[in-house]
Amino acid sequence: MSKVLFQVLSALILYFSCLNVGVVFTWPSSTFLLFKSDETPLHRPMVESELSLLGSFSSIGALVSNPLTGLFLDRLGRKRSAIITAGIGTISWGLIAFSNSVEVILGAVFLAGISGSVLLVVPVYIVEFSDESIRGALTSGSIVFYGVGMLVSYMIGGLLSYKVMVYICLTLSMIGVMILMLLKESPTLLMKKGMEEEAKKSLAFYTNSTPDSKVVLQEIMKIKRALAPEELEVQSPEEEKLTSHVSKNLPTKKLNFFQFFKKSKSTQRGLLLALTLMTTAIFQGLMVVIVYANPLFVEAVPEEILSATWCSVILAAVSVVFGIIAAYLTDLIGRRTLIIVSSVAAGFSCIALGTQIHLHWGPQWLTAVFIYLFCATYTCGAGTVPFVLLAELFLPEVKSIMSMIVMEWTWICNFIILFIFNPLVAAIGLGPVFYIFAAVCFGSAIYCVLFMPETKGLTVDAIQLLFVKRKRDNVI
């Protein structure tokens, strides 16, 4: 129990950085109208093109930084990468707090996007020190706390003045950087670099034990098997069967990345699965709902009943609550079942929302209800499970680069759906757009039924065996 407690506390420290990313990425929605008004705190009101950059510059920053972060994860380490990316977020808030220049604010938003790479670092970091029994829950926590950051941003942006909000966010960001220094480097990365004694100390920290304890030595053996299964001489019959299958499909660690990828069928199939799930997750459409929630709520809920701002706060709260539920369910019922059931439920939610917008068959407030229902069902599956899988699918030799590739593609898909949404609505209407989202939801469920293996409670080398057994078991 103490081992789990230490790992949860360590994960919470990393989650704080995810919370800060959620705050800064949502911050423009609280300042959009203020920055364009004559009462702007800046030296002049922003024009339309600058307001567009205010909303999109963070995505561009993330696109630029993800490839670099993927490389630095191995070269600098998980801990230093987390500190650097979180530190860039602090610099961003510092610029916002102490400058009233439009150009500086836009530059700060770009830096905030760079700090968003912490969402790439944290799942990789957590999966390498967490026990298999809680790995899914801890990994999905990064998305939950991103949602908490959204909620915090909506609330303090709606209740506090501009300057007070900015100073609070700067303080939170500084705290996030300082507490990261309390952590130890990933034991898997230390073993990969040949630093076994340091890896034992790291494992002792994360398991609340001593470096020479039985639990640490067992974890060291697991890491060795994941790094080079063919090098273990003393293994149980089950382990011999496992490594005999995996070693036929995995290269030795002397190969460079491209040689490794070309030879490792499990890595290729894992990448295909991760890219497919991330693509369908983005094109299920919740990001569009979040970005355009305010006008939807203006239409759905009369101002005298509840303001659109508070409706948005409720939306963020729904995301957080069901993110927590999803974190629990990933290790209770498994990743595969969860994403299949939730994708089907999200598809029906999209149909209900689309027909309500298109045909107006019910009262206005039903639109808000269906938006919340869609958010809840999406968050339980497509909004959580792909990020859990991304952190656990790949061997340590390629995990950093594979995670970078998938996250970069995710940001590109995010840009595409936001870019085409308005023209698509103009062409076919808002309601029918949700029919398209529903089709993606159902398609995602079918794909997972046919090709997605269950990874709950499995070590990384056991997960590779699932992909190697594609033809026999009908999984990728």
Task: Give 325-350 pLDDT, tens digit per residue.
Answer: 988 888 888 889 999 999 999 999 99
Q: Count CA atoms within 13 Å of residue 454 on its CB side.
A: 12
The mean per-residue pLDDT over the stretch 408-426 comes to 81
Provide the pLDDT confidence category of residue 25 given band limits of 50, 70 and 90.
Answer: confident
Verify that 164 and 283 share a domain, yes or no. Answer: no
396 in the same domain as 290 = yes
Q: State the pLDDT at residue 278.
A: 93
Domain that holds residue 57: 1-183
Q: Hey, how many other C-beta atoms are within 10 angstroms of the C-beta on 268?
A: 15
Section 25-48 average pLDDT: 83
Look at residue 384 and give its three-state secondary structure: coil
- In this structure, the answer to whether residues 170 and 21 fall within a common structural domain is yes
Q: What is the pLDDT of residue 176?
A: 94
CA 171 to chain centre: 23
Q: Is residue 418 part of a domain?
A: yes
- What is the percentage of the chain residues whose pLDDT exceeds 90? 29
Question: Is 273 in contact with 392 (CB distance < 8 Å)?
Answer: no
What's the confidence (pLDDT) of residue 232? Answer: 37
Residue burial 342-362, b: 16+ Cβ < 10 Å; e: rest = bbbbbbbbbbbbbbbbbeeee
What whole-number distance in Å separates Cα of residue 341 and Cα of residue 319?
Answer: 17
Residues 422 and 448 in one domain: yes
Are residue 119 and residue 214 in the same domain, yes or no? no
Q: What angle do CA 36, 37, 38 make, to 5 degrees?
A: 130
Q: Are residues 74 and 140 in the same domain?
A: yes
CB 365 within 8 Å of CB 359: no
Please give the Cα distance from 377 to 370 (Å, whole number): 10
Q: For the domain that residue 337 is a member of, what is the CATH number? A: 1.20.1250.20
User: Do 302 and 212 share a structural domain?
Assistant: no
The pLDDT of residue 231 is 46
pLDDT tens digits, one per residue of 133-154: 788 788 888 888 988 898 888 8
Q: Is 407 exposed, middle or buried (0-12, 13-18, 19+ CB in 10 A)?
A: buried
The one-letter amino acid code at 17 reads: S
Task: Choose among 206, 256, 231: nearest CA to 9.
Answer: 206
Q: What is the amino acid identity at position 58? A: S
* Four-point Cα dihedral 148, 153, 159, 164, nearest 10: 120
Using the predicted structure, report yes or no on whether residue 192 has a pLDDT greater than 50: yes
Contact 396, 188 (CB under 8 A): yes
Instruction: Please report, as a single letter, which amino acid is at residue 337.
Output: T
| 188 in a structural domain | no
Query: Do 207 and 176 share a structural domain?
Result: no
Percent of the chain at pLDDT > 70 equals 89
Q: Are residues 110 and 150 in the same domain?
A: yes
Q: Is residue 191 part of a domain?
A: no
The number of domains in the chain is 3
Whether 281 has a pLDDT exceeding 60, the answer reads: yes
Q: Please report the pLDDT score of residue 476 as a whole number.
A: 43
Helices (H), 181-307: 187-192, 196-207, 214-227, 237-247, 257-263, 265-283, 286-291, 293-300
423 and 359 share one domain = yes
CB neighbour list of residue 437: distance below 8 Å, 6 or more residues apart: 283, 284, 285, 350, 354
